[in-house]
Structure 1
Amino acid sequence: MTVSPPAVGNDRPADPPAPVPADLPTDLAWGATWPSLATFRTLALDRRVIPVVRRLLADDVTPVGLYRTLAGGRPGTFVLESAEVDGTWSRYSFVGVNSRATLTVQDGRAVWLGDVPVGVPTGGDVLDVLGATLEALRTPAVAGLPPLTGGLVGALGWDVVRHWEPTLPAKAPEELGVPEVTLSLATDLAVVDHVDGTVWLVANAINFDATDERVDEAHADAVARLDAMQRALASPVATPPAVLADGPEPELEFRTARDDFEQAVRAGKEAIRDGEVFQVVISQRLDLDCPADPLDVYRVLRTINPSPYMYYMCLQDADGAPFSVVGSSPETLVKVTDGHVTTFPIAGSRPRGATPEADAALVTELLADPKERAEHVMLVDLSRNDLVKVCVPTSVEVVDFMAVRRFSHIMHICSTVVGTLRAGATALETLKATFPAGTLSGAPKPRAIALIDELEPARRGIYGGTVGYFDFAGNMDMAIAIRTALIRDGRASVQAGGGIVADSVESLEYEESRNKAAAAVRAVQVAARLRPGPA
């Protein structure tokens, strides 16, 4: 048995969890380690993943500071955070400190970098390997711990849909050079609890060799990793306050000329009139130099555009080349928690108003726009149909319909659709049922996806895919990869689009895509001008 990272599982979330031999004590003292060696031995009898944890009073640390001190930009590390629409920050921030392995893809086949658990295939279709990994390492959750203490964390790009639907065309060239799947098997985390001012240090012991040997060594190894993290926190990496320096900002380069984008919108409308689709989402990519540290891009983005999903991920491709994914997405693709499934379709938008009065007028205008309402209703129906594939049909319902939510640069019409997983259905099957989001493809999905391949000049890469995690207890939480910058080799790419319907106006669709890209683009430009402030 050996030690390893956090990951969110995808197995049988609808099944009742197995009995938990020992739960976390409610009175775990600051600085105490759980489980004890004796409890660890008991847990190891029927678990392949055991989180070994220590809780510290650390009310003066920040997630970014923790990342700098403990992770330092290594591949397979990350920051995951969340803020509500009103600006209230969620309870937990998750910092991925180390990864034991990375699951990715090359030439259409799965590739593992690092240590591979016994019983997990090392080749073949990457999604089959993902499912087998979650099956092999499935472990009940431990009550009392933060919601993410271990799992597969990373990104699945737009083109992963072709692993499920191999007949879909793939004519557009691939220009960004990132794999369609990159998931890190993170070994160690630091979780900030903003409510009680504590930090949970987590070192996962993973039984990589599927034997009952070296159990005591695995516990000792996990405790040693906790000790190392705690020592590092005693000497944090200093991050001086930053100021905005004078100077030019990186210039935008548009992958698609405005005339070409508007022509693609017209072609989409023709396909709608011909009955091929009801809606299709046309997007454009904006590229710019990124001389800044990607973590600084994240620092700016989380400040100017707090969103339900905020993420900084340092990932790697099959050759070990690093790249970063930085985003603040407002939209869940799908979330599975203890067998309960949730999606939050978003469609219909306006830019924010310059004054409260202008903002209110834009809300009224948005909700009165028949084009925006029709688009939103269509996508809510699509979400319901997606969930019926894996949920008890009678459990699927819309619980929040057409609420307007405001973000820093834009407002959206949002709804919530929920359901209960059928017995035996898995989180990975749920992802398949909902991917890609109808808000990023259009409907019907197969023809809309094919049309996108025809009308957009290059493959989408991360854009329109999903970013998040699977844990080993059958849960997952996946955001749609929008409002996101892909950063590699000193270049950043941001993509955005909008849903085209029969009465779409080409010029307005172009401006909408620019508005949606604004926050991520601005974060890259501002980060390029950050400098350490005077001492």
Structure 2
Amino acid sequence: MHRPHLLFLDAYDSFSNNIINLLQQDLNATVQVIKIDDKRFAKTDDACFHAFLKRFDAVVAGPGPGDPRNSHDLGLIGKLWHLPEEVCLPVLGICLGFQSLALAFGGTAGRLHQPRHGLVTEVSHQRQSLFQDIDVLMATQYHSLHAKLGHNVDKTSPDLWRATSNCPDIIPLAWDLSDDQNGPILMGIRHTSKPFYGVQYHPESICTSSAGAQIIHNWWSEAFAWTVNQAAKIQTPTAFHLSIDVESCDANSESGDDSASTSSSLFDAVNPTVRDTTATTPAVTRDSSRMGRPASPRFVSWRCIDMTSSPVDVAALLQNLQDINQQAVLLESGSKNGQPVRPETGRFSIIGCVEDAPSIKYSTGNHIITSSLSGTNSSYNGSMSDIWSSVETFMAANKATDGNTDLPFWGGLVGFVSYEAGLETIDVAQPANDDRPDVWFVFVSRSVIVDHVERRVYIQSLEEKDDHWFEKAGNTVKELSKEPASLDKPGLPIPAIIAPIQDEYVQKVEICQSHIRAGDSYELCLTDQSIVSHDESCRPSSFELYQRLRTRNPAPFGAYLRLKDSNKEGNKEGSKEESKEENKKKIKEEKGNAVTILSSSPERFLSWSRAGKCQFRPIKGTVEKKDGLTREDAEKLLNVDKERAENLMIVDLIRHDLHGVVGSGNVKVEKLMTVEEYQTVFQLVSVIEGQLQEGSRHTGIDVLAASLPPGSMTGAPKKRSCELLTEIEGKARGIYSGVLGYFDVGGGGDFSVVIRTAFQWEDEGVWRIGAGGAVTVLSSPIAEFEEMDLKRQSCLPSLGLQSLSSVGSR
């Protein structure tokens, strides 16, 4: 059979790449992708779009947020159902595309009594058309609206399988008859004479059975048969006949939309040649002038000290190695009773010595990049794409290959990317934001790695002839006291707190649910902040607070980061000529460029190995550990529709992000919704992995750039959900909900999601703690507030608060 050449219309959904993967893998299809609002066709007459369609064998109209009754939400999908006969070609509509098809031929759309997002149910059918040779079909649904053809709602009626007088041209093929609250929900349709088909469910979801994905084969079989029949009628292959110059259409549009197609030369030639394109995200744009210079490879020197007889107190080791009041880098795998809390992800702790280290910063507030990575300080206007380019260039120029292969980090850039920086990568307008850094990385050339499983300490350096460092670090390790510092110092002051108000948070949950019911999102990860402040006269040090946090809530992705501008260390008193006001301003600027992060995150966002193996570990679903609650109890509490649906939606979203870079056929779900135990909670965790292909132009940095902000902190579809959350929350999240970790000179990387974290900008002098949870239509608003409060409580005791009741809330 002919290899299909398909067009995919992307309605800004967060699952689109999974559908494209299915088309490429199951049909061996070549696929070109354009957005539903592609500028090349949105502002031209239909003749241009028609000419373009003649290059394809068929079209898939994808899912997306919105309402099929809204032409803005449909875009080009709405043009498919009324094509002239000479242009008509087979179309498969999925979810939004399915609903649009039904409405185009007399159907209606309405809200479900209870939306169905991330729910897996059995689909009933009669083994006809799309469902030929399919038996039991379990399918994942993501929809708030449903299409109606005018049928009696009685699910036992044989009329459910017949066309109605309202829609005589549409034949029902499948229904969900399992939902008594909603009644029969239409799941599959076909047109009586035109090659138009549609399914409401998502065949690409990881929880849809293989039988559910078989409809792709059945659709293409019927589409191909229709195409052959049409070609025989007119004796001319319409796919190879162009009646208009499509290049002129492109020239007449305002501009080509580079993001709208996976091919950089979609209109490169008017000929019948089938181009093999993939649904991948373009690689980070590199600075070719800098990338072209000869690389200066780094050589890794290292030494190992056996500590099997005495476990290492990582915090004390950091404190003894450097002045933590200036800059400090600690990425810690938390321990309990001498053992790592999660050996699978938390085996190593990393201490980076970063005195006068080169760094790069970027603020989304003023779009200024400040960098000393080249050896000199420079500031210039830029964007997140420029940040990724600079990071890629710097890491390529400092590539190392000779470190200890057992260790994940040999040296490299360590730092964070804020939530707002992630918003910029998906073109979401941000709330009012200050000019503080949203990206900040420092270069670690000297490091100490603690292996908590083998109980060994590795001292590393990327500097030449660094014997002095090895001697200093080695002596520090050997002389280190085995007793950790006391954490509960007498008189630790009780801070003041500005906390979320329950009624206000509940109202925001209800607003989220109204958007979900309207079809704008499948789930929304709502968050809020607590602001904690200590009296200046008795303020505990940040490191003391971190020691409390790491003991009370040890986590596989703990972190103590104190970043400070090394080039602003001048005389804080100022010159005699400076006024007091100027001096105060100078001090404020210096403090504003210092940040401290105390993290006890349980969640890996993304890691990639030096061989290109990428891993995401999203967490969705939380149960508090209470006396008497066993793991079996937690599994029962988490194995319910609400919790599983939350997790499933993020798994499918991450598969989409990963498919977009590593390509079709290279993504696997290694664990799906398994329960993991942490210090204070049980959580539902999935593991998604992908493999960067050898010889590919893509790197782990491309995967990171394509995946921000973290889907577990946004909801799905990501772009529309982030737009809604920005409006509902009304303030910047900052470092919370971003990512924190490192780029390794060996080629790997590892980043956690910034949750269970407190951070402080020095000029503010207060600690900010974000927390939240995924809101779905199944959420209880009060329970959502309680979940947010539970997550917040993991940080509050470390700041001197036992609970909110000890201080009240605003």
TM-score bucket (shorter structure): 0.7 to 0.9
1:84-483 equivalences under 5 Å are: 87=341, 90-99=346-355, 100-106=357-363, 107-112=366-371, 114=372, 116-117=374-375, 124-125=382-383, 126-144=387-405, 146-166=407-427, 168-170=428-430, 172-174=431-433, 178-205=436-463, 219-220=464-465, 222-230=466-474, 240-245=485-490, 249-254=494-499, 256-290=500-534, 291-316=539-564, 320=590, 321-337=593-609, 338-357=611-630, 360-367=632-639, 369-422=640-693, 423-483=696-756
Residue pair 1:203, 1:223 contacting (<8 A) in 2 also: no
Match of 1:55 among 294, 300, 304: 304
1:492 shift after superposition: 1.2
Structure 2 CA distance for aligned equivalents of residues 288 and 315 of structure 1:
20
Q: Check 1:231–1:353 CA distance in 2 against 1; reply closer, same or farther (3 A cut).
A: closer
Segment drifting more, 226-235 vs 515-524: 226-235
2:578 is matched with none
Residue 144 of structure 1 and its aligned partner are, at CA, apart by 4.0
Structure 1 residues 224 and 513: alpha-carbon distance in aligned structure 2, compared to 1, 3 A threshold: same
Q: CA deviation at 1:468?
A: 0.4
**1:82 partnered with 2:321:** no
Q: Secondary structure at the match of 2:595?
A: strand
Give the deviation of 1:325 after TM superposition.
0.8
Equivalent residue in structure 2 for 1:499, among 774, 780, 801:
774
* Change in CA separation of 1:76 and 1:184 when aligned onto 2, cut-off 3 Å: farther
Which amino acid in structure 1 is aligned with residue 719 of structure 2?
P
How far residue 62 of structure 1 moved from its aligned partner, in angstroms, is 2.0
Give the stretch that moved more between structures: 348-357 or 333-342: 348-357
Q: Is the alpha carbon distance of 1:484 and 1:116 closer, same or farther for their aligned partners in structure 2, counting shifts above 3 Å?
A: same
**Alignment of 1:66 onto 2:317:** yes
- Distance change >3 Å, CA 232–CA 298, structure 1 → 2: same
Distance 1:261 1:240, change over 3 A: closer
Map of 2:783 onto structure 1: 508
Q: Deviations over 1:23-50 (max 9, x none)?
A: xxxxxxxxxxxxxxxxxxxxxx975222
Verify the 8 A CA contact 2:354 2:442 in the aligned structure 1: no
Q: Following TM superposition, by how much is the alpha carbon of 1:247 offset from its aligned partner in structure 2, in angstroms?
A: 6.3
Q: Is the partner of 1:394 in helix, strand or coil?
A: coil
CA, structure 1 residues 329+240, in 2 after alignment: closer, same or farther (shift >3 Å)? closer
Q: How far apart are the structure 2 equivalents of 1:400 and 1:242?
A: 37
- Give the distance between the partners of 1:286 and 1:411, measured in 2 at CA: 23
Distance 1:88 1:164 in 2: 31
Which has the bigger relative contact order, CA under 8 A and spacing at least 6? 1
Q: Distance in 2 between matches of 1:464 and 1:92?
A: 23
CA contact (8 A) 2:341 2:556 kept: no
Give unmatched runs, 5+ long, in structure 2: 1-282, 285-293, 569-588, 803-810
Equivalent residue, structure 1, for 2:175: none
Q: Give the 3 Å change call, closer, same or farther, for CA 91–505 of structure 1 in structure 2.
A: closer
SS at match of 1:79: strand
Residue identity matched to 2:594 = P
Rounded to whole Å, the distance in 2 between the matches of 1:240 and 1:373 is 42
Shift of 1:343: 0.6
User: Aligned to 2:532, what secondary structure does the other structure show?
Assistant: strand
CA distance, structure 2, for counterparts of residue 84 and residue 346 of structure 1: 20
Please state how far the C-alpha of 1:330 moved relative to its aligned partner: 1.3
CA distance in 1, matches of 2:737, 2:486: 34
Quote the Cα distance in structure 2 between the aligned partners of 1:242 and 1:277: 44
Determine the C-alpha separation between the residues in 2 that align with 1:247 and 1:109. Answer: 39
Please give the root-mean-square deviation of Cα atoms over the aligned residues, in Å. Answer: 3.0
Pairwise CA distance, 1:233: 5.3
- Deviations along 1:463-513, one digit per CA (max 9) or x if unpaired, are 110010011222110101011110234421110111111232211111111
Bigger radius of gyration: 2
8 Å CA contact 1:192, 1:198 repeated in 2: yes
Which has the larger displacement, 189-198 or 343-352? Answer: 189-198
Deviation (angstroms), 1:74: 4.8
Provide the C-alpha distance between the structure 1 equivalents of 2:719 and 2:380, rounded to a whole number of angstroms.
30
Cα deviation for residue 181 of structure 1 reads: 0.4
Deviation at 1:279, TM superposition (A): 0.9
- Residue in 2 that maps onto 1:35: none
Label 1:305 to 1:232 Cα distance change in 2 as closer, same or farther (>3 A): closer
What SS does the corresponding residue of 1:517 show, helix, strand or coil? helix
Report the CA distance shift for 1:247/1:310 in structure 2 as closer, same or farther (over 3 A): closer
- Residues 184-237 of structure 1, C-alpha deviations (whole Å, 9 max, x = no match): 1122112223345442222212xxxxxxxxxxxxx23x2233334345557669
DSSP 3-state at the match of 1:111? strand
Structure 1 residue 141 displacement after superposition: 4.9
User: How far is the alpha carbon of 1:164 from its aligned partner?
Assistant: 2.0
Deviation of the 1:362 alpha carbon: 3.9
How much does 1:70 deviate?
Answer: 0.8
In the superposition, relative to structure 1, how do residues 239 and 116 fare at CA in structure 2: closer, same or farther (>3 Å)? farther
State the number of aligned residues. 465
Deviation per CA, 1:59-96, whole angstroms, max 9, x where unpaired? 64421111111122154421112248983554422111
TM-score after normalising by structure 2: 0.54
| Structure 2 CA distance for partners of 1:198 and 1:373, relative to 1, 3 Å | closer
Structure 1 length-normalised TM: 0.79
Q: By how many angstroms is 1:382 displaced?
A: 0.9
For the Cα contact (< 8 Å) 1:121–1:132, is it kept in 2?
A: no
